[in-house]
Amino acid sequence: MKNKAFFLGLLIMGILFFSASSCSKDDEPGVPVVSTTEATKISQTTAASGGNITNDGGATITAQGVAWSTSQSPTIDDSRTEDGNDGGSFASSISGLEPNTTYYVRAYATNSVGTGYGDAISFATLEEVVDADGNFYSTVIIGNQEWFAENLRTTVYNDGTPIPNIRGDLNWINLTTGAYAWYNNNEASYKETYGALYNWHAVEPGNLCPAGWHVPSDEDWRSLTDYVGGRSLAGGKLKSTRTAPDAHPRWQSPNTGATDEYGFSALPGGIRGENFNFIGIYGFWWSSTENSPEEAWRRFIDFDFVFVSRSHDFKHHGYSVRCVRDN
């Protein structure tokens, strides 16, 4: 009877030891588990991605972000972002890319055990765009359209014909032919930041944008705003988040609702009419669609509202221009 009790005790002790060993092994930390977010806001040199840490591996997250490379399995030894250590979902901004190149990106998360990676996702940066004046532009794909992510600043049509630069107020408002101006006639301060202001007569010939691109029609603008949620919300989603007291280019505070979630980066170049007004406050962009012999359709975004206004205005007014790729 004593022997039976002795062997039973040994059996119980073995079971307890095995259970304790198993629990200890199961409780040992591992590398984090993370998934990669699809790439968006893809331009010639930038993109956005991110990740979601679904399991910290049982240890504190010490670093998270995305790694990218032209090789198919990027690691933290390649280019990477560092996006805190909060765990959960995170967003990453990728920069310093080469145009017209395929990249691979995957999210990573690091703890005391090591680094876990999400699946690699590929994306291709966009081709460089240059106008007939030699200016380079960033572009962005939104829905099934590719748009300039900057205002046009060419001083020649795409066949090389110069566009007159008209400085005088009375000369400007009496024009019935194409012309452009820099805000306040100050090229040094406003060319690279806000682009040129063109009257609609410069838009009308159809060769203001680089070859393969065009000034968007009223319908092109409608397609854009519909895709990003409708005109009542599109302004906030399309506006640059640069806000005063940031240096120009920027929107006046409060820049209501600005998220720039599609990379369109709309900036308020103001207006050229009888004089110059509204830099940093309002952005106006021509469409190529005529409304009447005196007027054409435009789009308008305000520093203090989230909507995109559609209206028509006199052709002699000077507005910004964005280009959209031909289908």
> What number of other Cβ atoms are within 10 A of residue 35's Cβ?
16
Mean pLDDT of 21-28: 53
* SS3 sequence of 92-113: EEECCCCCCCEEEEEEEEECCC
pLDDT digits 0-9 by tens, 186-210: 999 999 999 999 999 999 999 999 9
Residue 272 resides in a domain: yes
Query: 133 and 114 share a domain?
Result: no
pLDDT digits 0-9 by tens, 291-319: 999 999 999 999 999 999 999 999 999 99
pLDDT digits 0-9 by tens, 247-295: 999 999 999 999 999 999 999 999 999 899 999 999 999 999 999 999 9
What's the CA gap between 228 and 133, in Å, rounded?
32
Range of the domain at 88: 33-124
Query: 311 and 173 share a domain?
Result: yes
Mean pLDDT of 36-44: 94
Handedness of CA 139, 142, 300, 201 (dihedral sign): positive
Residue 20 has pLDDT above 90, yes or no: no
Residue 24 resides in a domain: no
pLDDT of residue 19: 44
Number of domains in the chain: 2
Is 197 in a helix, a strand, or coil?
Answer: strand
Under 8 Å CB-to-CB from 300, ≥6 apart: which residues?
282, 283, 284, 285, 308, 309, 310, 311
Residue 57 resides in a domain: yes
- The Cα angle at residue 94 between residues 80 and 50, in degrees rounded to 5: 80
Query: 93 and 117 share a domain?
Result: yes
Residue 12 has pLDDT above 90, yes or no: no
| CATH code assigned at 68 | 2.60.40.10
Burial 1-19 (b: 16+ CB within 10 A, else e): eeeeeeeeeeeeeeeeeee
Handedness of CA 220, 223, 225, 227 (dihedral sign): negative
Residue 311 resides in a domain: yes
Query: 83 and 103 share a domain?
Result: yes
pLDDT of residue 28: 87
Residue 64 resides in a domain: yes
